[in-house]
Amino acid sequence: MLINFYKYQGAGNDFILVDNRDDAVNHQNPGLIARLCDRRFGIGGDGMMFLQNLEGYDFEMVYYNADGQPSSMCGNGGRCIVAFAKHLGIIDTETNFLAVDGPHYAKISASGDWVSLQMIDVDTIKRDNGAYVLNTGSPHYITLADNLKDKNVFQEGRAIRNNDTYRKEGININFVEPSGEGYFVRTYERGVEDETFACGTGVTAVALAMAKHNNKTGHINTPIKALGGDLNIHFDYDGKKFESIFLEGPAVKVFEGEVEIG
């Protein structure tokens, strides 16, 4: 079976997208997903998404990690699928869609390459020694680091992700260093099992954790620099709950093509 696919990237976080509104593709196939996401033997991507029809929403986002397994929420993936929906003519400048962690609202620029995605509210941040642990649609571990550009994120991130506390469920590991008015962030992602160029739920978690770390409240804007580019997070925090959380950044179509999945 030959299917059309589209490749999108958001700050270097890259994804394979398929318009599956006709339900032609049975995507509950981890081996197929992993093969297509392979960077040597497939198309290559940090994950794969299927855009599907769902009553009451503009569309449904179904997301798989690069290992072929169903995933928790992907923030940059969410922004990319919004850009994809605009490309398909499903939406114009605003949308409401459903992802694995619930409904999401998003706005997209007229040019279609800048997306502001509302994330779920957060009211719980835990501590693990000096690190912060929270869920922004996916679970994240946040730790401050010095000389981050030279850190072995693969080695150190993998060790934390696979320690006794997190091995079973997995967690994404974010290393953070202050940079200008915001932060420089590098992330080791579960499911990809490697460092990625950016992680949307990760940088969102960083922004919230750093607000708590620095005892900031009110409306907070936090610019983040990832390996793949610049992102921005803004939200409201009253000292107990984070609300109106938006992840903003680029979402760009790289190329499209056909692939045999039989």
Closest residue by Cα to residue 153 from 119, 128, 193, 187:
187
Residue linked to tokens 């997995």: 170
Closest residue by Cα to residue 144 from 177, 190, 106:
177
Task: Tell me the backbone φ, ψ of residue 195, rounded to 5 degrees.
Answer: -75, 140
Active site residue 199: yes
**Sign of the C-alpha dihedral computed for residues 173, 117, 49 and 251 taken in this order:** negative
From the candidates 36, 85, 176, 199, give the one annotated as an active-site residue.
199
From the candidates 33, 34, 62, 74, give the one annotated as an active-site residue.
74
**Sign of the C-alpha dihedral computed for residues 40, 44, 47 and 52 taken in this order:** negative
What amino acid is encoded at 231 in this protein?
L
Active site residue 74: yes
Q: Are strands 47-52 and 94-99 parallel, antiparallel or unpaired?
A: unpaired
Active site (catalytic) residues:
74, 199
